[in-house]
Amino acid sequence: MNKFSSKVGVILSAVGSAVGMANVWGFPYKFQEGGLIFLIAYVLFIGLFSHVGLVSEFAIGRMTRSGALGAYDYSFKKAGKNSTIGKYIGYIPMLALFAISVGYSIIVAYVLKALIDSVTGLLFNVDPGVWFDGFSMEPYSVMLLHFIVIVIAILTCFGGASTIEKSNKIMMPAFFILFVILAIRIATLDNAGAGYRYMFRLDMDKLNLNTIVAAMGQAFFSLSITGSTLVVFGAYISKDMDIVDSSKKTGMLDTTAALIASCVMIPALTVFGMDQVGGPGLLFVALPTIFQNIRLGRIFSVILYLAVILAGISSLQSMFEAVTGSLILRFPKLSRKKTLISLALIAFLLGVNMETIDRFGRYMDIVSIYIIPIGASIGAFTWFYILGKDELLGEVNIGSTEKIGNSWHKVGKYIYVPLAIILTLLALIFKISF
């Protein structure tokens, strides 16, 4: 079986899966809203979810060597539970990943459009709001870019763990370097300090349930804990690798990416007296407006969108790999390249008619509110309530310098799983999108 060749490759591939739009436009918006209270809660939840959630998904993947579909089947059979449920329940988190890849590829196509227009200078000769409306509200306006994004993503998956590792060893360091350059440039702007003070303010009024839930949801889904992706990546990890330490470093780097992005977004908005904004409005209207009004703004615009492209492609790569890996590990006769090409065509054909922001926005809300949380909860429940404790602990401790025991499993069973289910219920009942 194709495997990751190094611990660095494992960590950077997991970080590539985790770092994406949630870090770039989701975290900064929630951080500027909740301040230091949000950040403290977020760090605590990241610590919990990376130490329990990431570790358990890596472990079950490495244990079964069978991807998402086989991992659930194995867990139910091993526990003597309903084998029919185990055989088919893994399709829910797997298909949830594919569903989100359909909409996510459109977002990355928007970013590619912004990158190209920054390079050519077009973005600096128009009103950003008019520019954004011009393609985000026009059907098929990014169709070619949409296709290119999907092709690039699947090309990085053709060699399995090998090409995923190699591509992330380039994309992830480049992402961090480019965002650090941006953060340094923003720090030189007059009154940038006010943005930092606002970010790290201690506002006790924000010590409320809304802030805590926002931090919990952001931490959980930012780490790409979906009951599918990291299970497949776990299947590519060798037995001598320390998955406990790798999971901790993944959580740390994911948080670092979000903080660096915030050090770009929040001070920039503060300097120019712009309202708090997240999502597409931040990336495609507010930031272009700022870059139009700073020295060498065009260069820094290119740097921004190139960095976001790298994050977007790496996330999209992990989505396609989660589905492809699960299918070919479960059905060995399937061809990797043919499976990837088929998935790419389906994703493109489904997404091409949703390229306007109103259509894919509604679609992504449905997927992120109803489907992804359910898949994540199914995974958490299966690893800690269906699979035997001793078997899970045994796999986690293989290759780990920090041995874990019953207390870790209790945290997973009585804290991690209930929190995952709570997030799912909040999404389903109150229509909260994390």
Phi-psi region of 157 (alpha: psi -120 to 50; beta: other; left: phi over 0): alpha
3-state SS assignment for residue 43: helix
Distance CA(45)–CA(28), nearest Å, equals 17
Q: Answer yes or no: are the C-beta atoms of 146 and 353 closer than 8 Å.
A: no
pTM of structure: 0.92
Q: What confidence score (pLDDT) does residue 43 get?
A: 96
277 closest CA partner among 22, 25, 104, 36: 25
Task: Answer whether 54's CB lies under 8 Å from 230's CB.
Answer: yes
Residue (of 242, 216, 227) closest to 8 by Cα position: 242
pLDDT value, residue 220? 87
Amino acid 373: pLDDT = 86
* Contact in structure between 37 and 206 (CB atoms under 8 Å): yes
What's the rounded Cα separation, in Å, for the pair 404 and 379? Answer: 20
> By the 8 A CB rule, do 23 and 251 touch?
no
Count of alpha carbons within 13 Å of 184, Cβ hemisphere only? 7
Q: Which two tokens stand for residue 11?
A: 């960590």
> Among 219, 287, 298, which residue's Cα sits nearest to residue 259?
219
| pLDDT at residue 250 in the model | 94
Q: Which residue is it, tokens 């329940």?
A: 89
Confidence (pLDDT) at 2:
77
- Cα–Cα distance measured from residue 273 to residue 284, given in angstroms and rounded to the nearest whole number: 17
What is 98-139 written as a DSSP string? HHHHHHHHHHHHHHHHHHHHHHHSGGGSS-HHHHHHHHHSST
Tens digit of pLDDT at every position of the chain (434 positions): 578 988 899 999 999 988 888 888 889 999 999 999 999 999 999 999 999 999 999 999 999 998 889 999 999 998 888 778 988 999 999 999 999 999 999 999 999 999 999 999 999 999 999 999 999 999 999 999 999 999 999 999 999 889 999 999 999 999 999 999 999 999 999 889 999 999 999 999 999 989 999 999 899 888 888 888 899 999 999 999 999 999 999 999 999 999 999 999 999 999 888 877 778 888 999 999 999 999 999 999 999 999 999 999 999 999 999 999 999 988 999 999 999 999 999 999 999 999 999 998 889 888 887 788 888 899 999 999 999 999 999 999 998 898 899 999 999 999 999 999 998 888 878 766 66
pLDDT per residue as tens digits for the range 102-114: 999 999 999 999 9
Q: Smallest Cα–Cα separation from 318: which of 2, 19, 109, 5?
A: 19
- Contact predicate 233/12, CB 8 Å: no
**Structure token digits, residue 63:** 């244990």
Picking from 425, 47, 368, the residue whose alpha carbon sits closest to that of residue 223 is 47
Residue whose tokens read 């799983």 = 417
The DSSP letter of residue 331 is S
φ and ψ at residue 125, rounded to 5 degrees: -125, 10
Choose among 45, 10, 404, 4: nearest CA to 246: 10
Beta strands in 267-386 (DSSP E): none
Helical segments of 188-296, H only: 192-199, 209-222, 229-235, 243-271, 280-281, 287-291
Show Cβ contacts of residue 27 under 8 Å, excluding neighbours closer than 6 positions: 42, 218, 222, 258, 261, 262
The pLDDT, as a whole number, for residue 434 is 61
The number of beta carbons lying within 10 Å of the beta carbon of residue 280 is 17
Rounded CA gap, 102 and 347, in Å? 5
